[in-house]
Structure 1
Amino acid sequence: MELALIGAGQRGRIYADYAFEHKRAKITFLVEPDENRRREAKEKYGLDDAHVFTDPADFYKLGKVCDALIIATMDRQHYEHTMGALELGYDILLEKPISPDLDECIGIRDLALKNKCRIMVCHVLRYTGFWATLKKIIDSGELGKVINIQHNENIGNFHIAHSFVRGNWRNSDITSSLIMQKSCHDMDLLTWLCNSKAKSVSSFGELTYFNKAHAPEGSAERCSKCGIMDCRFDARKVYLPIAGNWPATVLSVDQSEESLIKAIEEGPYGRCVYKCDNNVCDHQVAIFEFENGIHASFNLSGFTNRMCRTIKVMCENGEIRGDDEKNEIEIICFTSNWQQEPEVKTLNPDVREGFHGGGDAGLMEQFLDMIQGDDVENLSAIERSIESHVMAIAAEKARVEHRIVEMKELR
């Protein structure tokens, strides 16, 4: 099997490296504008200059030259890059979000269906043992019907500073809203677990903390020039001790101390977190009403120490509590009175290797099996995945316009 990688950043490399290292596929073409990332990926996959490009448009001039594509470019590039691939008849693994623009999402879906191309959107959580087990419990009906859900995405304080204050997804004018970029995963989980489309949503959230109003007196524009010694966001404290690991690996291909210090002194990840050009929320809440009557609250926050998702599913005859970082699911049956001990069952689902609780690996295995011709279900086909984007766009619209948004306004 031969694949082309378009976008050799962190996410694209995770997918392509998995296929390459597990000998499931050859990476025969590479498209990457950044010189350092392009050079490293070219060496990794053993490619010559004729198989390496800086622009997808130049690659597409070759016609259809491999079995499928991995597209992991920036959010607002997805439409152009994906439509070009679909015109050539490619099957695609597409990093989420599909696009920040709903019309573009619909356009990609419609062309894929028209040209009979398969798109697997990287909603990796569907492919984890944890979330698949939770879904199985709900669908079994052992606790009756779902009444309502509380779902939390705990971004982690260091993570929001890295990715959504200093990093690529800091500004919605350049990429997406926070709830789209970070949480279309969670919108997808909710519609999947509820087995229903959303009907309406209200939402609140702001950029409360990571702004100039909270900058310490006397702080500099960059950490390397700042005299505030007790700041936990000092980039030297954040990245140097974890060289060779994420998120330090985002700063530079070369993970030597010298290269990291240079990146901190010159690049975006060395900027003061209170003085960046970020505009996305640092916290947001949303309440969804689903067409089948289920209600769900969603809390997204960068003010947590842990980086995980926690959930409580409240059913007719019991509740389910889950923590994906601990890989623990509790099933609790209701009792007749407060003195009676409830029946509690604790599950620890199987975990695969890799990020997102093994979801990245599970996604790639499913995608490669699908391209190979195996009879597997595309759990995150674009026809399904688009609903999560409708939910995220509606939630952001509700937040900005300070009102309840009916989904029929967008569909």
Structure 2
Amino acid sequence: MKQVTAALVGAGLRGAHVYSNYALEHPEEFRVVAVAEPDEKRRLMFAKKHGIPKHLQFQRDEELFQQEKLADCAMICTQDRMHFKPVIKAMEKGYHVLCEKPMSPEREEIIKMGEMAQKYDRILSVCHVLRYSPFFVKLKSLLSEKRIGRLISIQHMEEVGFWHYAHSFVRGNWRRAEESSPMILQKCCHDMDILLWLAESSCVKISSFGALSYFKEENAPEHAPAYCLDGCVHREECPFYAPRFYLEHPKAEEDGFVYGVTQEASPKNIMEALRKGPYGRCVFHCDNTVVDHQAVNLEFDNQVTASFVMTAFTSQCARRIRLMGTKGEIKGDMGAGIIEILDFVSGAAEVIRLHTPEKGHNGSDTSMMRDFVRMIGEGMPGKTEAAVSVASHLMALAAEEARLDGMVIDFPKYVRRI
């Protein structure tokens, strides 16, 4: 396979520290040759890490795309509302595209991106990384083998984790639907995609309920200051006390959350950044608007029904699922890598234990990048076509509309309306 080259647009956490790392781990397969990033410190650090010369470092993506085509593909890893223009420009310029999810919070832009991929005959791969996890690949295989007969119902839960939710959706970049996207799209378009994949049928009806119930001013303890480091008297009993998480919680380092606070993650720099920076704010005194819990019910054309729950109020960041069929049921825990199959006829239970790395969505990030690189380098088919990503994104937006309007959405009519 020839080495595939890439240009990175947006050197943030996912772009610079997750997807691009595949180039460092597999240099014979993949190399990042150009970068566009407005933050000078991030741009220079990334360029140094990947050996990118000065003339291939750009402040804005527009500058990158003004050049002659520089690479085989472009990785678009900007914020949610900044994907559309560079994705379209990249495809027009001749690049295949890896786009961070969600594609866009705007329905018309999502559809347009799918149409342009078809028009220009480009690979547009959206980062629905769960399809690449050993866990969901195995579940898909078991369903295809009819191990539980005909699939009838799915029960799926995303446990966001109290600490992850506070970092990303109360203090962080995805806290306001108006500036990024609704929670059900930003965090859970993964899950809508998985439900669509497992059900193997088109969605026909959607309803949803949920709210921002806890992380708001009215629930602030008495005398809680605007910033944790402004002498908060509740620090010993508050699970969201910022210095404790960013200095002591192992996930702050493992999952890279600390680099959202400061690029130079020494204790001194972390404390200084928390003193008046966004990640040091009291979780009850932020300007967040996205829900902290939501339930979605779905019906598919083949009469499979699914219920999905997203909640911030869990100790773990995990996904758990239950698949119920005519001859048995499957229970699964993605993080633990455990799948249990229960047979109705024999009463036997089989337990499958998978190797699931802790980092990178349990190994999904690396598997997705390998698939994307080989789609370009070897012409291999991928697991996520642009048209399928469009459908699952629209399911998430329909769920949000159902939540806000208190109604059941007829999904085919919803799509035709757009």
- TM-score interval (norm. to shorter): over 0.9
Judge conservation of contact 1:138–1:146 (CA < 8 Å) in 2.
Answer: yes
Equivalent position to 1:225, from 221, 227, 230: 230
- 1:314 partner amino acid: M
Q: Kindly provide the CA deviation profile for residues 38-74 of structure 1, in whole angstroms up to 9, marking residues without a partner as x.
A: 1210110112221111110111100311111111100
Q: Please tell me whether the aligned partners of residues 352 and 362 of structure 1 are also in contact (alpha carbons under 8 angstroms).
A: no
Q: Matches of 1:124 and 1:385 in 2, distance apart?
A: 12
**TM-score normalised by structure 2 residue count:** 0.94
- For 1:116-168, what per-residue CA distance to the aligned partner results, in whole angstroms no more than 9, with x for missing partners? 11111100010111100000001111221111110000000111111100011
1:219-258 to structure 2, matched below 5 A, reads 219-228=224-233, 229-230=235-236, 231-241=238-248, 242=250, 244-245=253-254, 246-258=256-268
What amino acid sits opposite 2:268 in the alignment? E
Write the letter of the residue equivalent to 2:37.
E
Name the stretch that deviates more: 150-159 or 263-272.
263-272
Equivalent position amino acid for 1:396 in 2: E
Distance in 1 between residues matched to 2:30 and 2:117, nearest whole Å: 23
- Map of 2:305 onto structure 1: 295
Give the Å deviation of 1:220: 0.7
1:144 and 2:149 matched: yes
Counterpart in the other structure of 2:334: 324
The answer on 1:394 being equivalent to 2:404 is: no
Offset of 1:266 from its aligned partner? 2.6
Shift in alpha-carbon separation, 1:202–1:353, aligned structure 2, 3 A: closer
- Which structure 1 segments of 5+ residues have no match? 336-340
SS of aligned partner of 1:410:
helix
Q: CA RMSD in A?
A: 1.3
1:33 corresponding residue in structure 2? 38
Unpaired runs of 5+ residues, structure 2, are none
What is the CA–CA distance in structure 2 between the aligned matches of 1:199 and 1:348, rounded to whole Å?
34
Aligned-partner SS, 2:229: helix
- Residue 293 of structure 2 is aligned to residue 261 of structure 1: no
Q: Distance in 2 between matches of 1:197 and 1:239?
A: 42
The answer on whether the counterparts of 2:22 and 2:30 sit within 8 Å (CA) in structure 1 is: no
Give the aligned partner of residue 138 of structure 2.
Answer: 133
* Offset, 1:265: 1.3
Q: Which moved more, 1:237-246 or 1:146-155?
A: 237-246
Match of 2:102 among 97, 102, 116: 97
Counterpart of 2:285 in 1: which secondary structure? coil
Counterpart CA distance in 1 for 2:40 and 2:268 is: 19
Deviation at 1:352, TM superposition (A): 5.4
8 Å CA contact 1:354, 1:361 repeated in 2? no
Which of 344, 358, 375 matches 2:363? 358
**Alignment partner of 2:26 out of 22, 30, 40:** 22
Q: Does 1:281 align with 2:325?
A: no
Q: Are the equivalent residues in 1 in contact too, given 2:215–2:284 (CA < 8 A)?
A: yes
Measure how far apart 1:254 and its partner are.
0.3
| CA drift at 1:35 | 2.2
2: distance between equivalents of 1:383 and 1:19?
27
1:376 to 358, 374, 380: 380
Q: In 2, distance between residues paired with 1:363 and 1:193?
A: 18
From 45, 60, 71, the equivalent of 1:66 is 71
CA contact (8 A) 1:19 1:364 kept: no
Instruction: Tell me the equivalent position of 1:307.
Output: 317
Count of matched residue pairs: 405
Partner of 1:157: 162
> Contact (CA 8 Å) 1:202, 1:404: kept in 2 or not?
yes
Alpha-carbon distance between aligned partners in 2 of 1:164 and 1:409, rounded to the nearest angstrom: 31
Equivalence map 1:103-114=2 (5 Å): 103-114=108-119
Corresponding residue for residue 344 of structure 2 = 334
Residue in structure 1 matched with residue 9 of structure 2 by the alignment:
6
Partner Cα separation in structure 1 for residue 158 and residue 359 of structure 2: 19
TM superposition shift of 1:91: 0.2
Deviates more, 1:290-299 or 1:17-26: 17-26
Q: Distance in 1 between matches of 2:321 and 2:358?
A: 23
Partner of residue 188, structure 1: 193
| Structure 2 partner of 1:338 | none
How far residue 375 of structure 1 moved from its aligned partner, in angstroms, is: 4.1
Cα shift at 1:249:
2.4
Q: Deviations over 1:288-341 (max 9, x none)?
A: 011110000000000111110000000001100000011000000115xxxxx7
CA contact (8 A) 1:319 1:332 kept: yes
Change (3 A) 1:238 1:353: closer
Q: Which amino acid aligns with 2:330?
A: I
State whether residues 341 and 350 of structure 2, in contact with CA within 8 Å, keep that contact through their aligned partners in structure 1.
Answer: yes
1:243-284, Cα deviation, whole Å (9 max, x unpaired): 643321221110111111111113210111001110000000
Moved more, 377-386 or 165-174: 377-386
Alignment match, 2:410: 406
Q: Is 1:211 matched up with 2:216?
A: yes
Stretch deviating more after TM superposition (162-171 or 222-231):
222-231
Segment of structure 1 superposing worse, 223-232 or 83-92: 223-232
| Amino acid aligned to 2:6 | L
Question: How high is the sequence identity, in percent, across the aligned residues?
Answer: 38
Structure 2 counterpart SS, 1:216: coil
Q: Deviations over 1:188-246 (max 9, x none)?
A: 00000000111011100000000001111101111111322222211111101246433
Q: 1: CA distance between counterparts of 2:277 and 2:321?
A: 37
